[in-house]
Amino acid sequence: MTAPNISHVPVTEWATLVLELMVADLSHSLDVYTRLFGFTLNYTRPGFAYLSLGRIQWMLEQAHADKAWLTGPLEQPYGRGINFQMEVPDVQALYNRLLAGGYPIFVPIKTTAYLEGDTQHHQRAFLVQDPDGYLLRFTG
């Protein structure tokens, strides 16, 4: 008998782009993503979890060698050469929660100015690596 699929919090609107990341330890990654990063667990099935944070939707899957779309060996840190930028409601509160929890910060929070034509925009951002090394850039 297999474990059941479990719906935790319904998704009210499905995103048009959803990332699916292979992870070495799904239960550990779920703990970090929900407890520290603030994601909501929407749906699980054995070896898989669907998460959201506001309009961000994210999938985590337990890595295993016979996965059909695995393009090469997974070596830590995963996701080399890419970072995922996510706008969160309160970037400073998330940063403070990670600091208080002793979570390692890859790039400390800072404000950066960007030009769009003649308009200057400001963005607060910091970067962390998730438990598998995927680089996450939280902005606000």
31-39 average pLDDT score: 96
Give 102-129 pLDDT, tens digit per residue. Answer: 999 999 999 999 899 999 999 999 999 9
- pTM of the complete model: 0.86
Domain ranges of the chain: 6-64+80-139
Dihedral angle over CA of 55, 85, 110, 98, nearest 10: 70
- In sequence order, the β-bridge partners of residue 111 are 124
- What the block records as the tokens of 58 is 């994210």
Do the Cβ atoms of 51 and 102 come closer than 8 Å?
Answer: no
82-111 average pLDDT score: 96
- The pLDDT of residue 3 is 54
Q: What residues have CB less than 8 Å from 41, skipping those under 6 apart?
A: 8, 9, 30, 34, 49, 50, 51
- The pLDDT of residue 4 is 64
pLDDT tier for residue 13 given thresholds of 50, 70 and 90: confident
Kindly report the backbone phi and psi dihedral angles of residue 8, in degrees, each rounded to the nearest multiple of 5, phi listed first: -95, -60
Flag the least confident range among 2-16, 46-60, 101-115.
2-16
Q: Please determine, for residue 73, whether its predicted confidence score (pLDDT) is greater than 90.
A: no
59-69 average pLDDT score: 83
- The pLDDT of residue 2 is 46
Homologous superfamily assigned to 6-64+80-139: 2,3-Dihydroxybiphenyl 1,2-Dioxygenase, domain 1 (3.10.180.10)
Quick one: what percent of the chain has pLDDT higher than 90? 76
